[in-house]
């Protein structure tokens, strides 16, 4: 890789002062760490934390549901984060009783009433109980991921045999999270990443940011969703003042400077997206639909059916057959290769010749896919593939415009240019469908870059809503509320089906927009009890690109070193 601005080979920084990481008032941040440490001491009977780490949530500016299809996405880390304190108690040498006792992993939360504590054996091979949906599942994911990474590096045995690991008696973990749950701001990935970084440091191990991004993406799959990798990568590799284009295979993060006259706003739709619980009909179903679309596209290009069945992502197929991955060519191919509407399981298995779908998705070993195939009989392929290819284009266009390219030149590609000539219109960066003529009602030629970025966000939301069907009434209402209040653009962010909206506006009217949206969207929800006014600042706020994961030094006398 080695792209300018890529930081995947670096290590997670050890912050020397809070202002390296936070923009907020340092006293209140320091007080939060003090609370974490005192909760730690109370829970673990006077023990002191050995390591403290933090990792942030994120907001995805554009590029939804395409990371698991191999396409780049464009998120930024936000100021809300998860902080974790860890300590490792070692067995006393020569103490026979302790030697024989089973080592444990003990997990607790500063808000212990809402997030109850749990103890697990110190065993990296234990399974995560995906049916229980307990918050500690994500801590277990992080814990297991570390050992998976060691295995991948052929270091597992030597680490397990080390004097340190052999003497582990109890690993203690205390968590405090500020990323709202189920909001599309990656609360669980922030938890997984913060825990992984803290445990890595406490176990005296050292992985690069790229390794951490990959291992946390894989380990989060133990929680039951087929995670794409964006959330973990930006949580680990985020930086102040920069959005990032995150690439996959191999992982990389490229700096994307955002226009300084724009402000990004986040609003929570107050519809909670229970990602793990609803994965079989939402997130994981989409992963399955995209894979089926990739297989039928490969078949359309004449691939032998057995070979086509090994295709996993739409990108893989587009790169092979669509003019080296040209997204316009891919969009054109979608119309020829895939039927409109839904396919039934029977149609796919018999008429399309795919045979037992359970075999393609290795259902014996993959419970997440097994449940998807058990609980669904229809699969929409054309709409999903259209969304993926058009969204991948929008990411590319968004980045180019941020880098200073005129909206006019951000778009390229032979089919696109052909259509422009045929219908005699200037290039339009905002084409959302696979039929360029349909979207030329709003040419973007001549508009400023702020409007072009906003329009891409708007088109992204439309595509999520109509093609990917991952929006919901509350998200659509909130998008409209931002637009009526004067935002330039707004869209759902994250997986959708609830969660948050990200909007963009001229910085000088940000406060007015927030006040307006509060009135039109939130006040009725405060009155009806759907939202709590005490949470106001976490429901609707301005955000700026923030720092990624960090390790912090805690001094028992002085607190977190500032």
Is the CB of residue 546 less than 8 Å from the CB of residue 238? yes
Of 325, 279, 315, 268, the C-alpha closest to 294 is: 315
Judged by beta carbon, residue 67 or residue 428, the one nearer ligand NG1 is 67
Q: Give the binding site for ligand NG1 (CB under 6 A).
A: 60, 64-65, 67-68, 184, 186, 189, 220, 225, 227-231, 275, 494-495
Of 133, 62, 161, 144, the C-alpha closest to 387 is: 62
User: Secondary structure of the chain: what % helix, strand, coil (to 5)?
Assistant: 45, 20, 35
Strand order in the sheet with 262-268: 489-493, 500-506, 262-268, 540-543
Judged by beta carbon, residue 180 or residue 229, the one nearer ligand NG1 is 229
Output the smallest distance, CB 186 to ligand NG1, in A. 4
Q: Which of 67, 81, 231, 255 is catalytic?
A: 231
**Spatial separation of the C-alpha atoms in residues 9 and 181, rounded to whole Å:** 30
Pairing of strands 342-344, 378-380: antiparallel
Judged by beta carbon, residue 64 or residue 474, the one nearer ligand NG1 is 64
Give me the numbers of helices (H) and strands (E) for the chain, helices first please.
Answer: 24, 17
Q: CB under 8 Å to 27, separation ≥6 — which residues?
A: none
SS3 305: helix
SS3 11: strand
Output the smallest distance, CB 52 to ligand NG1, in A. 23
**CA torsion 76→412→460→372, rounded to 10°?**
-90
How far, in Å, are 81, 234, 260, 302 from residue 215 at the CA level? 19, 13, 34, 36
Judged by beta carbon, residue 292 or residue 495, the one nearer ligand NG1 is 495
DSSP state string for 79-141: EEEEEEEEEEEEPPTT-HHHHHSPPEEEEEESSTTTS--EEEES-TTPPP-TTT--TTHHHHH
Cα 364 vs. chain centroid, distance in angstroms?
27
Judged by beta carbon, residue 63 or residue 427, the one nearer ligand NG1 is 63
Determine if the peptide bond prior to 250 is cis (ω within 30°): yes
**Spatial separation of the C-alpha atoms in residues 472 and 335, rounded to whole Å:** 26
Please report the beta strands in 359-499, taking only residues with DSSP state E, as ranges in sequence order: 378-380, 489-493
Strand order in the sheet with 118-121: 14-15, 550-552, 51-62, 74-90, 168-177, 104-109, 118-121
Judged by beta carbon, residue 213 or residue 227, the one nearer ligand NG1 is 227
Phi and psi for 87 in degrees, rounded to 5? -145, 155
Output the smallest distance, CB 129 to ligand NG1, in A. 18
Is the CB of residue 498 less than 8 Å from the CB of residue 273? yes
Judged by beta carbon, residue 400 or residue 491, the one nearer ligand NG1 is 491
Output the smallest distance, CB 141 to ligand NG1, in A. 10
For ligand NG1, the nearest residue by Cβ is 494
Cα 304 vs. chain centroid, distance in angstroms?
34
**Spatial separation of the C-alpha atoms in residues 124 and 139, rounded to whole Å:** 12
Output the smallest distance, CB 265 to ligand NG1, in A. 17
Output the smallest distance, CB 185 to ligand NG1, in A. 7
Output the smallest distance, CB 495 to ligand NG1, in A. 3
Judged by beta carbon, residue 75 or residue 332, the one nearer ligand NG1 is 75
Catalytic site residue 439? Answer: no
- What sections of 254-347 are H helices per DSSP? 275-278, 283-300, 305-308, 314-321, 327-337, 345-346
Output the smallest distance, CB 382 to ligand NG1, in A. 20
Judged by beta carbon, residue 238 or residue 407, the one nearer ligand NG1 is 238
Output the smallest distance, CB 362 to ligand NG1, in A. 19
Longest dimension (CA), the chain: 85
**Spatial separation of the C-alpha atoms in residues 550 and 560, rounded to whole Å:** 13
Judged by beta carbon, residue 60 or residue 87, the one nearer ligand NG1 is 60
The catalytic site residues sit at 231
């Amino acid at each position: 890789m080695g792209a300018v601005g890529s930081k995947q080979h670096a290590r997670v920084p050890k912050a020397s002062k809070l202002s390296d990481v936070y923009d907020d008032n340092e006293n209140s941040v320091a007080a939060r760490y003090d609370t974490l440490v005192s909760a730690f001491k109370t829970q673990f009977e006077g023990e002191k934390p050995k390591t403290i780490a933090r990792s942030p949530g994120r907001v995805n500016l554009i590029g939804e549901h395409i990371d698991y299809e191999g396409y780049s996405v464009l998120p930024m880390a936000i100021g809300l984060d998860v902080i974790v304190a860890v300590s490792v108690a070692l067995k006393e040498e020569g103490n026979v009783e302790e030697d024989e006792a089973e080592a444990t992993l003990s997990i607790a939360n500063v808000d212990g009433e809402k997030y109850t504590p749990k103890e697990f054996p110190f065993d990296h091979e234990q399974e995560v109980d995906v049916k229980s949906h307990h918050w500690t599942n994500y801590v277990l994911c992080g814990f297991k991921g570390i050992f998976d990474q060691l295995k991948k590096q052929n270091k597992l045995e030597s680490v397990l045999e080390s004097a340190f690991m052999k003497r582990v008696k109890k690993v203690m973990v205390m968590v405090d999270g500020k990323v709202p749950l189920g909001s599309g701001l990656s609360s669980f990935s922030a938890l997984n990443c913060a825990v992984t970084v803290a445990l890595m440091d406490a176990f005296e191990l050292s992985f690069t940011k790229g390794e951490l991004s990959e291992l946390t993406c894989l380990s989060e799959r133990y929680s039951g969703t087929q995670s794409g990798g964006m959330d973990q990568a930006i949580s680990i590799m985020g930086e102040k003042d920069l959005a990032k284009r995150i690439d996959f295979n191999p992982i990389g993060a490229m700096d994307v400077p955002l226009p300084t006259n724009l402000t990004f706003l986040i609003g929570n739709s107050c519809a909670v997206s229970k990602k793990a619980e609803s994965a079989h009909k939402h997130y994981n179903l989409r992963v399955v639909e995209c894979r089926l679309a990739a297989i039928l596209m490969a078949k359309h290009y004449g691939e032998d059916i057995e070979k086509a069945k090994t295709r996993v992502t739409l990108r893989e197929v587009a790169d092979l057959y669509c003019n080296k991955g040209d997204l316009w060519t891919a969009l054109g191919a979608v119309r020829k290769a895939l039927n409109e509407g839904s396919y039934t399981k029977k149609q796919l298995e018999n008429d399309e010749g795919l045979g037992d779908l359970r075999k393609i998705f290795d259902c014996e070993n993959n419970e997440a896919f097994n449940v998807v195939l058990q609980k669904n009989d229809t699969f929409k392929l054309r709409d999903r593939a259209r969304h993926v290819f058009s969204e991948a284009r929008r990411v590319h266009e968004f980045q180019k415009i941020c880098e200073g390219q005129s909206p006019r030149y951000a778009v390229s590609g032979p089919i696109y240019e052909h259509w422009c000539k045929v219908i005699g219109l200037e290039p339009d960066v905002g084409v959302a469908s696979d039929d360029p003529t349909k979207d030329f009602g709003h040419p973007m030629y001549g508009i400023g870059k702020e409007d072009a970025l906003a329009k891409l966000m708007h088109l992204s939301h439309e595509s999520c809503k109509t093609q990917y069907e991952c929006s919901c009434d509350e998200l659509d209402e909130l998008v409209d509320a931002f637009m009526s209040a004067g935002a330039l653009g707004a869209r759902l962010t994250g997986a959708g089906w609830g969660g948050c909206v990200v909007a963009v506006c001229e910085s000088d009217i940000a406060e007015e927009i927030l006040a307006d949206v509060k009135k039109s969207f939130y006040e009725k929800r405060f009155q009806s009890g759907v939202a709590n006014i005490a949470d106001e600042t976490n429901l609707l706020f301005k955000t700026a690109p923030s720092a990624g994961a960090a390790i912090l030094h805690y001094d028992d006398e002085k607190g977190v070193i500032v």
